[in-house]
A = this chain, B = another copy of it.
Amino acid sequence: MLCGGVGGARFCSGVVSVADEVTIVGNVGDDVEVLGLHVSPDLDSVVYALAGLNDEERGWGRAGETWEALATVSALGGEDWFMLGDRDLGLHLVRTRALRAGEPLSAVTQRIARALGVSATLLPATDDSLRTWLDTPAGSFPFQEWFVARRHQDEVDAVRVVGDSRPAPGVLDAIGSADAILIAPSNPYVSIGPILAVPGIREALAARTVPCVAVSPLIGGRAVKGPADRMLARLAGGTTPVHVASCYDGLIDALVFDEADVEHVDGLGVRAVVTKTLMRDDAAKRALAEAALDVAGAHA
């Protein structure tokens, strides 16, 4: 499964609840250095969701989070624009130290996931430095500056993924040996796109011999959260399943999308799977995962 942030992470927990031997390839294009710490928001969203540590209400970060360290940072005039909770900080400290000691991101990610009881394999798309930049009318910004500091208010003219990268160990093997491939309901441009931008990954998907099924992140043409709808409208020309599928041209065999979008499927070009896609609870996550796995032929 290819997966981005929070919405994708919720879908991951559904998939893991109904499938064995799940390997998740996560986005690192929105990784950011904050206060000298290497933060991997998308990988952490997946880890927290799979470990049952995520805050379902707030939608990101850890449940029961506290903010004492950041309060000190603010009092000292430090870098406090990125919300780092105390529990979350512990992970960033461990990861950053490991990276500085030379451990690859894929190794430390897997070690962290295991330590928190996650049985699925979680791989960053790459161990190399890859950064998503947004070109907007107000200028070009790294992902988190656009997303958090500027609250993704700037319209996006183009998404650029910057950095020489190779797939992390295990990524191409996972794609090549999968019984089925899923693309989580994540933002095609800033969550899935940076994964596909790692040389070799898009090619591996295009050369697949098993079904690849994407789940649309839009419901009724609207994002549940975040800027996916605005980006699709501007960059793909619309927010229907057809526009979502166009982001994955040649890479998918089916698109799972919501009942609310059923009237907009002319020219989809791939198999249409219509179901309820709002993951309001565990049962809904599970049902959506089953729908995707069913069409992929990978469900028991």
The reply to whether B97 and A69 contact each other, CB–CB distance below 8 Å, is no
Give the interface centre of A72, A78, A87 by most chain B CB atoms within 10 Å.
A72
Among B65, B70, B97, point to the contact of A36 (Cβ < 8 A): B97
Shortest CB distance A89–B (Å): 4
Q: Please, which residue of chain B has its CB at the minimum distance from the CB of A78?
A: B94
Interface contact A72-B89, CB-CB below 8 Å: yes
Considering residues A78, A79, A91, A116, which has the most beta carbons from chain B within 10 angstroms of its beta carbon? A78
Chain B neighbourhood of A78, CB < 8 A: 90, 93-94, 97
Is the beta-carbon distance between B66 and A86 smaller than 8 angstroms? Answer: yes
Q: Which of A107-166 contact B (CB under 8 A)?
A: 111-112, 115-116
CB distance from A64 to the nearest CB of B (A): 8
- Residues of B near A71 (CB, < 8 A) are 87, 90
Main secondary structure of the interface of A (DSSP, over half): helix
Q: Which of B36, B65, B116 contacts A93 (CB 8 A)?
A: B36
Question: Across the two chains, which residue of chain B brings its CB closest to A64?
Answer: B68
Q: Which residues of A contact B (CB under 8 A)?
A: 35-37, 65-66, 68-73, 75-79, 85-91, 93-94, 96-97, 100, 111-112, 115-116
A36 to B93, CA, bound (A): 7
Question: Which of A93, A97, A112 is most buried by chain B, counting CB atoms within 10 A of its CB?
Answer: A93
Residues in chain B near residue A90, CB distance under 8 A: 68-73, 75-76, 78
Shortest distance from the beta carbon of A118 to any chain B beta carbon, whole Å: 12
Cα-based distance from A87 to B69 in the complex (angstroms): 5
**Shortest distance from the beta carbon of A277 to any chain B beta carbon, whole Å:** 32
A85 proximity list for chain B (CB < 8 A): 68
Do B68 and A86 touch (CB < 8 A)? Answer: yes
Partner of A91, one of B72, B100, B116: B72
Question: In the complex, A209→B294 CA distance in Å?
Answer: 88
A77 to chain B, nearest CB (A): 6
Q: Known: A35-B97, A36-B93, A86-B86. Is A116-B75 also a contact (CB below 8 A)?
A: yes
Bound together, the chains give a CA A72 to CA B88 distance in angstroms of: 8
Which single residue of chain B is at the shortest CB-CB distance from A75?
B115
Whether the pair A87, B68 counts as a contact (CB closer than 8 A) is yes
A76 x B35 contact (CB < 8 A): no
Q: Do residues A115 and B36 form an inter-chain contact, with CB atoms below 8 A?
A: no
Whole-angstrom CA separation of A90 from B74 in the bound complex: 8
